[in-house]
């Protein structure tokens, strides 16, 4: 039996089911009575056993010097490089690779500890299975609270962080350190004179110590909402409706002082506390609109009377001046005559009486 093996292959000679030796590229003649067969394989990449145990193959010197064995222990992963180029990630186990036409290199990394070496390339981390590492992004103005197996480890500043998530469960809670606000809206409150009003409040706050805050509460916004709600009910319930509307700024100041008391209990800084809206019942709004219209109408009447008095006083002063000054009187005659001529096509006058007198007679004649 003639067998030809070409590059980059080799053959495994098996006689009566037993591996005998390795055949390198070339031509071989095998007697048929030996009951033999040759299994060919390419000497690149992973070694294919061809039904022969690897332990048996590695006992052969020709095989062992061409095959590179690597063992990835538990708690580690392996990075395989072929000709200095990344090829694949190897999980824990035993591997055999041909090292003839390719240069095999391995980098074994311990993933049992969450922390990753600072100089470890990021692209290699992201080549690992997604379940084996944790990527954490902390934006500007945030703090990342890092936990290992549910126990606080440290605070991460702004940046992108990677941790192995294999032997230790890694988690992170992001805390916003910027100024935030909580809406305390739709608060239906009864004033002391039994008028139901609805208040919409807003409270601004900033977290000062996220670690301590997480130990005390998981939702500071809910705590601020409840505190603002109780403070509004306590203060508004003592006021009448008119007092509430008149003391809106005072109410906001009082609520702010009340809300600042929460700083003693939680590590937050309370900023502006204000009233967005005071919503009245429909009937009350109608009555107040009527009152407002009446007030504005009264103000308009006062202004009208004041103008009428001023106009009458001006006419009186003008009459006195005309009585004392004949020239001024004559000028006034000419002014009135000019106005009349603008409105009338033609006017006939006769001598005798003055112009104003004749105009007055014309007016009496028409009446």
Distance CA 58, CA 90 (A): 21
Q: Is the pLDDT of residue 28 over 80?
A: yes
pLDDT in tens, 265-276: 899 998 888 887
* CA-based nearest residue to 201, from 277, 140, 270: 277
What is the largest distance, in Å, between two alpha-carbon atoms of the chain? Answer: 168
Two tokens at 54? 């690897």
184: left (phi over 0), alpha (psi -120 to 50) or beta: beta
By CB atoms closer than 10 A (0-12, 13-18, 19+), residue 36 is middle
List the structure tokens of 291: 């009152």
Question: What would the pLDDT profile of 324-346 be if each residue is shown by its tens digit?
Answer: 777 766 666 667 666 666 666 66
Structural element, H or E, at residue 283: helix 282-324
DSSP string, 219-262: -HHHHHHHHHHHHHHHHHTTS-HHHHHHTHHHHHHHHHHHHHGG
Does pTM top 0.85 for this prediction?
no
Check if the beta carbon of residue 29 is closer than 8 Å to that of residue 39.
Answer: no
d(Cα 275, Cα 251) in Å, to the nearest integer? 8
Count other Cβ atoms within 10 Å, centred on residue 170: 20
Q: Which residue has the higher pLDDT, 207 or 249?
A: 207
pLDDT of residue 143: 93
Residue 319 above 90 pLDDT? no
pLDDT per residue as tens digits for the range 164-178 = 998 889 999 999 999
């Amino acid at each position: 039996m003639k067998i030809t093996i070409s590059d980059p292959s080799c053959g495994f000679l098996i006689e009566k089911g037993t591996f005998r030796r390795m055949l390198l590229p070339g031509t071989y003649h095998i007697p048929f009575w030996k009951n033999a067969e040759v299994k060919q394989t390419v000497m690149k990449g992973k070694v294919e056993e061809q039904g022969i145990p690897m332990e048996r193959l590695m006992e052969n010197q020709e095989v062992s010097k061409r095959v590179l064995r690597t063992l990835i222990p538990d708690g580690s992963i392996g990075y395989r490089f072929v000709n200095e180029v990344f090829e694949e990630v190897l999980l824990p186990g035993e591997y055999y690779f041909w090292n003839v036409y390719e240069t095999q290199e391995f980098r074994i990394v311990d993933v049992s500890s969450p922390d990753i070496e600072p100089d470890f390339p990021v692209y290699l981390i992201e080549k690992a299975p997604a379940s084996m590492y944790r990527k954490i992004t902390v934006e500007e103005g945030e703090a990342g609270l890092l936990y290992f197996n549910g126990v606080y480890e440290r605070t991460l500043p702004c940046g992108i962080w990677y941790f192995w998530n294999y032997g230790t469960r890694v988690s992170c809670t992001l805390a916003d350190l910027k100024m935030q606000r909580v809406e305390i809206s739709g608060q239906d409150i009864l004033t002391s004179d039994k008028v139901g009003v609805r208040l919409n409040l807003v409270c601004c706050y900033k977290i000062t110590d996220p670690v301590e805050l997480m130990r005390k509460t998981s939702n500071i916004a809910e705590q601020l909402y409840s505190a603002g709600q109780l403070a509004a009910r306590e203060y508004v319930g003592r006021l009448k409706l008119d007092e509430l509307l008149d003391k809106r700024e005072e109410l906001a100041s009082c609520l702010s002082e009340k809300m600042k008391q929460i700083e003693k209990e939680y590590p937050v800084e309370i900023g502006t506390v204000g009233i967005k809206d005071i919503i009245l019942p429909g009937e009350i709004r109608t009555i107040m609109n009527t009152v407002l219209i009446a007030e504005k109408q009264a103000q308009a009447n006062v202004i009208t009377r004041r103008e009428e008095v001023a106009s009458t006083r001006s006419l009186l002063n003008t009459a006195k001046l005309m009585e004392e000054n004949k020239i001024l009187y004559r000028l006034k005659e000419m002014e009135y005559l000019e106005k009349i001529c603008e409105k009338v096509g033609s006017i006939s006058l006769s001598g005798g009486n003055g112009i104003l007198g004749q105009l007055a007679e014309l007016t009496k004649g028409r009446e």
